[in-house]
Chain A
């Protein structure tokens, strides 16, 4: 006799993240989370600037700029961040999304003030010369070649954004284009730093082995004197008009082992009340081996080798993507028909309580897991404070997930997974590639 185990996600008791929240007089928002178990700290500095804010004719610039932030300042040599972190047993990195650029370091806690100093230093004065600008631009174009051109399906994300958005700058993606990166100049770098790298456009989050008063004093000491420019920060106000008819793009590329498709549906912004139900829909359809798409398309019907769903929630209205890669010998139309049937099912009837219980448990468990590390806690606060506008949202998310009903899931599936709201990108092996020749 086998029993199928179940638990109720509401049984998972998660204490709220307790953080201190202050804003310096220059506008820098500072969130500190003391947790003294392990003697390390995670430092994140997030700037509210991302791919959508790239200057006109300079797509990819925010990401290129992220690379330049590692090239030294008036007082420090290139790779100072690496030396301050790696050499003391820590590490550092950064990422650029559509909406934010986030720089982070994890170091032993006795090095906290040195990193606050270094982050303040590169906010206050960035020094980039022609030589390291040109080198780094080549590195970023190399990244484009490697990730977008050389990888199988590398263009898929770019195509989805380009086709799904008509007026919103999300259509340009984050990595940009080599031609526009090559058009960028050192003047652009100076202007971009002056425009967006200012205290009132940043959130500093430190989580870990810290003392609140001492840390606020350190932050005030190094970030406090940095002036805030009087000019307003430019913001993207473009509003993507509602889509009224399906858009389809058929793409052929070399190095594509199996045909694939992505269907992308417009959804609201991350702060919208439907966001939680969309996250539940994502897990129900496409996370893990017990998800509907994996079970039906990959395991039972064997028409796909992989099938995922992703609620890509952003500061501005984002996309719900469903991506299917065909199984060998299966044509794309067959796989798409199987996908359509699953999407019809989720629109037609609410998921049962058992299935919903599993999804809630999966989501709650992954939220708890991500809170084990200082870095995980800090990043959760960064995203809530920037993309959703309020760090306190982190403490209500679990309750909001638990409150999502089967009817909510059916409702958002109906509201957004509609044909006229869909952009479809089909990705096929290039004519003349191995498969076509055989």
Chain B
């Protein structure tokens, strides 16, 4: 039997999510606590957001915040690395530490009866890390070998280069994971210094929620973290390099051993707090995803690549927009033109209603999936905290996305994505550099072997 295609039912009206409302308090030691209650399953999640990450590092200490975060779970004054994992497993808990540009984050999740002890273990990791020399060496060695692996990938290398092109020596310019040279030079003392200076209750926020009442969450936070004291010295001035003005430039990294050429077109855009954020998110969605314009133009219409997409990283300070794809070396010049023209198309004419409806649905759909779990809700609130966004915006997220109109998407693209879009190409330059320069004038060509992401000017 067959079912006629004309009988496909129309979608019903969309339903909204019921999200728990966050409540907040500040403990006497300055620690801000954000709590929510969602009691459908016996799980509690917490996220400690420390207000300093890679952006607080000096240029010559790139990778310091990442090294500190990686070492937190590798030993405390009371327990070694394996004892920490044994204690965590005994609680069925998950405790993970990582750093970003704007914050360092330690997450902790466990079932309801195990959670108080899991939070105490997280507190021990955050407040009393040992930074044993043996562990510092082990993590340093592993980080350096991870870097070598990561930069063998032309797409990862293109992102690193793009950060330098976009930000130069400003705080988001250097690689978060550091470079082999900076990692080699970091000492245990500097690790301990960063931790002592920046992991402090008066510059941290604890998000905690799930299967408990918010009052009980505050009481638990007070009991476990209430005795945490801030050091006398203030966190101090963070480095503030100047972000270079946007400039249409082409940077080519010649990497003849790359399988394909990584292409990235980008620009510094907006901060997360910007009123343009929701329009920016929809604009990015119009360009990305399988049905997004970039993939349609690059893969579906021209077969230039297996896929193409775009991402927006709005941060505490203006972050980046990147359009990315991976193409045959010989077609890199053509793909560059198509990518730039596709971005420009968004600035030239308003998107159709049909386009907007489906692309907005991808944004709200992934938001709803993210908040299915208590860790997801804690993480979403944590992002609001990191970027100084009012917490109430979480409840309004879907509505604000749906309210974005075609003109605000066009206006965002016309002022923030063009003009002065830069291009980074990482691949076998002999196959495309001449064509690219014919279209764009002189490009800067850097030999991959001499590329230095540790330098604002990229070395070479």
Contacts and interface: CB of A to CB of B under 8 A. Distances in A.
Interface of A: 1-2, 4-9, 11-15, 35-40, 73-76, 82-83, 86-90, 106-114, 117-118, 120-121, 124-125, 209, 218, 222, 225-227, 288-290, 295, 299, 357-358, 361-362, 364-366, 368-369, 371-374
25 contacts: A4-B87, A5-B121, A7-B113, A7-B114, A13-B112, A14-B42, A37-B17, A37-B40, A39-B16, A75-B5, A86-B290, A86-B362, A88-B361, A106-B369, A110-B12, A113-B9, A113-B12, A222-B3, A289-B85, A290-B90, A299-B82, A365-B92, A365-B93, A369-B109, A372-B374
Interface of B: 1-18, 38, 40-43, 78-79, 82-83, 85-87, 89-93, 109-114, 117-118, 120-121, 289-291, 358, 361-366, 368-369, 371-374
Contacts of B363: 89
Nearest to A125: B2
Contacts of B11: 88, 108, 110-111, 114
Contact of B372 (A7, A117, A124, A373): A373
Contacts of A124: 1-3
Nearest to A112: B12
Contacts of B118: 5
A1 B79 CA distance: 10
A195 B366 CA distance: 37
Given A5-B87, A88-B358, A290-B86, A108 B365 contact: yes
Contacts of A117: 3, 7-9
Given A110-B15, A372-B372, A86 B85 contact: no
A111 B111 CA distance: 33
A361 B91 contact: yes
Contacts of B82: 289-290, 295, 299
A372 B210 CA distance: 11
A33 B2 CA distance: 29
Nearest to A225: B1
A5 B3 contact: no
Contacts of A226: 1
Given A88-B11, A89-B366, A125-B3, A7 B18 contact: no
Given A73-B2, A89-B363, A111-B11, A4 B41 contact: no
A94 to B, nearest CB: 17
Nearest to B376: A372
B113 A11 contact: yes
A365 B111 contact: yes
Contacts of B290: 82, 86
Nearest to B291: A87
A38 B366 CA distance: 12
B402 to A, nearest CB: 12
Contacts of B14: 39, 108, 110
A82 B300 CA distance: 14
Contacts of B40: 35, 37
Contacts of B358: 87-88
Contacts of B6: 75
Contacts of B2: 73-75, 121, 124-125
A7 B91 contact: yes
Contacts of B289: 86
A358 B117 CA distance: 14
Contacts of A12: 42, 111-114
Nearest to B117: A5
Given A7-B91, A89-B368, A227-B1, A364 B373 contact: no
B324 to A, nearest CB: 18
Given A75-B3, A86-B290, A362-B89, A114 B8 contact: yes
Contact of B371 (A13, A38, A111, A371): A38
Contact of B89 (A9, A14, A108, A289): A289
Nearest to A7: B114
A3 B2 CA distance: 66
B135 to A, nearest CB: 14
A225 B1 CA distance: 9
A89 B398 CA distance: 12
Nearest to B373: A372
